[in-house]
Amino acid sequence: MKKSQAINLGLTYSVVSIILFLIQVIVAGGTMFSVVMGIVTFAVVVALCIIFIRRERAEKGGLISFKEAFTTAFVGLLIGGIVSVLFTLIYVTYVDATYIDKMVYTTLESTKGFMEGNMGDEQVNEILLEMETDMRAGFTPLGMAKSMGYFAIFYLVVSLILAASLKKVNPLATPYQTETLDR
């Protein structure tokens, strides 16, 4: 039995996102490093989707409908995202319970350094307290579920854009045909 490219994408994205998370844990670079990791993750998402949509297209004889391309990307990214969120939740709960404290401290210190001199101490403390509360709430099961919802919206947008740009339908088909090939 042949695995679909969506499952392959999901498994690959799971492994890559876990590795990127562990690199971030090891380096613990604070806010700036998180921004860099976000950019790297975005590039990885786009690249993996392109690779696996093209593989799916090649398996189908060089043609793929918008629906097939979208399904490959979206389902694969959802699988990878869910595995990544579950891994993160398990990691911060059972493997390194101090991770959240370290991350919050590092982020707040770098933010505080940026804000000092630009705002009053009371305003800085108020903003930092709110940031800390929000960051800690993001690592609860409910917070992680909300994050997965935001990721799903992001995956939806990326999948729609890539499916539209990578679809390749039978040029001899009428505009109302949805099949990519007569099999």
Q: What distances in angstroms separate CA 85 from CA 33, 54, 56, 106, 171, one per listed residue?
A: 19, 27, 26, 21, 41
Shortest CA distance to 87 belongs to which of 26, 10, 15, 23? 15
| Contact assessment for residue 105 and residue 27, using Cβ atoms and an 8 Å cutoff | no
Helix (H, G, I), strand (E, B) or coil at 90: helix
Structure confidence by residue, pLDDT tens digits, 48-91? 999 999 999 999 888 899 999 999 999 999 999 999 999 999 99
User: Could you tell me the sign of the dihedral formed by the alpha carbons of 89, 128, 115, 108, in that order?
Assistant: negative
Residue 119: strand pairing partners: 116
When pLDDT is cut at 50, 70 and 90, the band that residue 15 belongs to is very high
Predicted TM-score of the model (pTM): 0.79
Distance, CA of 102 to CA of 106 (rounded, Å): 6
**pLDDT tier at 99 (50, 70, 90 boundaries)?**
confident
CB 57 within 8 A of CB 168: yes
Structural domain boundaries in the chain: 5-166
Tell me the C-alpha distance between 9 and 26, whole Å: 26
